[in-house]
Copies of this chain bind each other. A is one copy, B any other.
Amino acid sequence: MSLPHAILTALAEKPSSGLELTRRFDKSIGYFWSATHQQIYRELGRLEEKGLIRALPSARPTRGQKKEYEVLPAGRAELTAWVTDTEDPKPVRDALLLRVRAAGVVGAEDLGAELRRHLALHREQLAEYEAIEKRDFPPERNAEQDRLRRLVLRGGIGLESFWISWLDEALAELEEIDGGRA
C-alpha cells in the first residue's frame, strides 16, 4: 500500500497536476516506485476524497483542464506516520532468477542472449544514476533532504551494480556449461 504515500511524497516536494506527477514518476520517484498515469489519477481522486490532499482553488473541475493538487496537514501527518511504521520487506519476486531456475529444468540453450540483453540494460541504468549523482549531489549540498535523496539514489546504484556483477557471473557460468557440453 505505498502508492498513496509515493504520491503524497511527490506532492509534498512540490504541488503538481496529474500529468506532472506522471512525468516525475517516469524519472526520480519512479526509479524506485513506478506508476502509470491511470493509477495516479485514480489515487489522486481517493486522496482528495479522504481529505489528505486538495485541488488548488484556481483549478476548475472540467475535463482537459490542468488541475493542481497540494498536500493538506492530514496528508502530511499520514506520511509522517508511515515513515516510521513497521513494515517488513516484501519477498523478492524476480522473473529473471526464476527463468534461470526454469532453465535448470528444461535446458539452458539460448539463455545467454537474454542475459546479455539484461546486462546492457542494467549498465545503462547505472550510468544514468551515476550521471544524476554527479549532477544533483555535489559535495556542498548537505542539507538533510539532499543527504537522504542521495542515499536513495545510492540504493539504486547499489542495486544496478549488484545485477551487473551477478549477470557477469551468470554468463561466465553459462560458458562453462556450454564448454562442458561441446
Interface residues of A (CB under 8 A from B): 2, 5-6, 8-9, 12-13, 29-34, 76, 79-80, 82-111, 113-114, 117-118, 121-122, 144-149, 151-152, 154-156, 158-159, 161-163, 165-166, 169-170, 173, 176-177, 180-181
Contact = CB atoms under 8 A, between A and B. Distances in A.
A173 B148 CA distance: 8
B148 A104 contact: yes
Nearest to A81: B106
Contact of A162 (B76, B90, B162): B162
A94 B32 contact: yes
A166 B158 contact: yes
Contacts of A33: 92-95, 97-98
Contact of A29 (B100, B101, B162): B101
A101 B148 contact: yes
B114 A85 contact: yes
Nearest to A26: B91
B32 A93 contact: yes
Contact of A83 (B34, B111, B155, B177): B111
10 contacts: A2-B93, A30-B91, A80-B106, A82-B102, A83-B108, A94-B155, A97-B152, A104-B144, A107-B144, A151-B173
A128 to B, nearest CB: 13
